[in-house]
Amino acid sequence: MTTSTTSESSASTPLIDLQGLVVSVRRRRRLWSALALLGLLAGAAIAIVLPPPPSAVTKVLVAHADDQPNDSGTLIRTDVQVLGTTRIAALALRSLNSPEKPEDFLRDYQGTGLTNNLMQIDVKGDTDAQAVERAKALADAFVADHVRRMRATAKAESDALLEQRDRMRTELVEVNKEIGNRSPDTDPQASASLESLFARRAELNSRIADFDERAADARTGTPQVVAGTQIVDDARAVPYSMPKAAATNAVIGLVLGLVVGIALAAVGVVVKDRPVLRRDIAAHLGASVITDLPRRSVLPWRRRRARVARERLTTSLARTVRGSAEAVSLLELGAARTAGGLALDIGRQLSAEGPVAVIDGLPGSQLSGHRPKPGDPAVIGGERAAAEPQQGLRLGVGSVAPGTAWTDLQYLGTQTVLVVRAGHGSAAWLHTVARQLADQRIPVIGVVLTDPDPRDRTDGTLWDGLHTALRGRSERQARPGGTARRAERQPMWAAHGADNDQEAR
C-alpha cells in the first residue's frame, strides 16, 4: 500500500515545478538585474570607447550572360567571392598607388549580395576620405575585371564556334569537289551516292549558317553585359552618430545581459533545488506554515503591515508558550536575527506575568552577548542553562543550519517552532531537519516563513498534521487521552520528514 501510494504521488509530481521556478527566478532579480545593467553599461561603453573606424559604401549592378529570373543568387555569391580575391585587391591598390599588401587590404572590405544582380561593397579606412577613395577604386576594379572576364568568355565561345564553322567549310569544299568530279550516270548506285553528297552539302551549309549565327550571338551578348555592369551608387561615407550607436549597443547589451541573467538564475534554481513556496516548504518539513513575516521595506504601508504581522505572531506564540506544559523553542534556518528578535518580543510579553528566561542557542551567542534593555527577559547562554535552576518559563532559541548539534536541541525545548527563510535551505536539507527532529522526538508545531514571495498564493497547510499543529491543540486539550493519541500518531508524523530516496514506513 505504501509503495503504490508513493508511486502515485511521484507520478503526479512534475519533473520541474514551473510556478516554483518562476518565483525562484523572480526572487533572484538582483542577479539578472545586475547582469542586465552590466550589459547596458558595457554596450554603451563599447560604443564610446571603441567606435567603429570610418567606412564608406558603394553599390554595383552586375550583369551576367547567364542571368535567369529564377536564379537563387549563385551568380551574385560568386561575384562576392571574386571581389574578395587578391587580384581585385591588387588592382584597386595599383589604382590608388598604395604600397599596402593585398592580403592586408582584404581585411578592410567586404561585399554583400543584396539581390541577384546588386552587390554592396563596404570599405574601412583611416579617414572618411580614404574610405570613399578605396570604395571607388574597388568598385572600378571589380567592374573592369568583370567586363574583362565576360569579354574573354564571349571571345572564347565565339572563337570556338568560328573554328567549328571553318572545319565545316573545309569539309564543304571537299564535298563540292567530289560532286564536281562525278559525271552523270545512269547507274542506280552512282545516283544514290550523288544524292548522298548533295544531302551532305545541304547539311554542311545549314550547320555553317548556324555556327555563324551562334558566333554572332556570342559577340552580341558582350555589349549588353558591359553596359549593364556599372556603379549605380557612388561611394559615400557612412555617417556615424555616437549617441545613436551608444543607445543601440546599450539596448542590445541590456537584452543580452537580461537573457543571460535569467538563464543563469534558472539553472541555479534547478541545480540548488531550494523551495520558496509555502506548499513545498511545508511538505518538505512535514509541518504547516502558521504565518509569514515579510521582508523589511522602506514603504510606510508595507512597514506597517509587517509590524502588525509581527505583533500578531508574537502574541500567538506567547499564548502558545504560556499554555504549553512542555518547553517550546524557536529554531531558525537562515533567519537568525528574526528568530532572536521574536524570542525577545515573546519574552517581553511573558515577563509581565512572571519570570521568563530565554536560552540562547544561536551560533555566536547573538542574544546573550547583547546589552539588555529595560523590560527585556533574562538571556542565558546555552552552556549555562543546565547549571542554573529553572525559575518561571523558559523559551529556547537555536539553529538547525548545517553544523547543528542535533542532540542539544531537546535542551532548548521539547517542541519547536521553525523560523525558516524562504529559498534558504535546499530540499535535501529540509528533509534532514525534519528527520533529525523526528529522531529527537521534537514535534514541529508550526513554521514561520520569513521573506516569502508576495505573490505566493499556495497553501502551506498539511491537513494530515493535526496531531502536531497549533490548530489541533484545542482538540487535544478537550479530549481526554490526547497525549496518548499523539504518541500513537507519532510514527505518522515522522514519516513526513522522510527523504525522497528513503521509503516511509
Q: Which domains does the chain have, with CATH numbers?
A: 13-51+243-271 (no CATH), 55-239 (3.30.1890), 276-496 (3.40.50)
Locus of grid cell 500578531: 312
Distant-in-sequence, close-in-space partners of 92: CB < 8 Å, separation ≥ 6? 105, 134, 137, 138, 140, 141
pLDDT value for 372: 67
Number of Cβ within a 10 Å radius of residue 204: 20
pLDDT value for 220: 66
pLDDT value for 491: 35
Among 291-300, 407-416, 486-495, which range has the highest average pLDDT?
407-416
Which cell goes with 217?
550571338
Contact by Cβ (8 Å): 376, 311: no
CA pair distance 182, 202, nearest whole angstrom = 17
Residue 201: burial class (beta carbons within 10 Å; 0-12, 13-18, 19+):
middle
Among 157-161, 242-246, 248-252, 463-467, which range has the highest average pLDDT?
248-252
pLDDT value for 370: 65
- The yes-or-no verdict on residue 228 having pLDDT over 50 is yes
Q: What is the pLDDT of residues 393-404, one digit of tens each?
A: 888 899 999 988
Query: Which residues make beta-bridge pairs with 291?
Result: 448
Percent of the chain scoring above 70 in pLDDT: 81
CA pair distance 105, 108, nearest whole angstrom = 5
Q: What is the pLDDT of residues 93-138, one digit of tens each?
A: 999 999 999 999 999 999 999 998 999 999 999 999 999 999 999 9
pLDDT value for 322: 84
pLDDT value for 175: 79
3-state secondary structure 171-229: HHHHHHHHHHHCCCCCCHHHHHHHHHHHHHHHHHHHHHHHHHHHHHHHHHHHHHHHHHC
Q: What is the pLDDT of residues 66-81, one digit of tens each?
A: 777 777 788 899 999 9
Q: Produce one character per residue of 401-426: b if its CB has 16 or more CB atoms within 10 Å, e if not.
A: beebeeeebbbbbbbbbbbbbbbbbe
CA pair distance 260, 36, nearest whole angstrom = 8
Q: What is the pLDDT of residues 433-488, one digit of tens each?
A: 999 999 989 999 899 999 888 888 888 888 766 555 665 554 444 444 444 333 33
Pairing mode of beta strands 356-360, 289-293 = unpaired
- Tell me what the mean pLDDT of segment 175-189 comes to: 69
pLDDT value for 15: 63
pLDDT value for 389: 59
CA nearest to 254, candidates 4, 62, 36, 8: 36
Locus of grid cell 482538540: 475
Residue 235: in which H helix or E strand, if any? strand 230-237
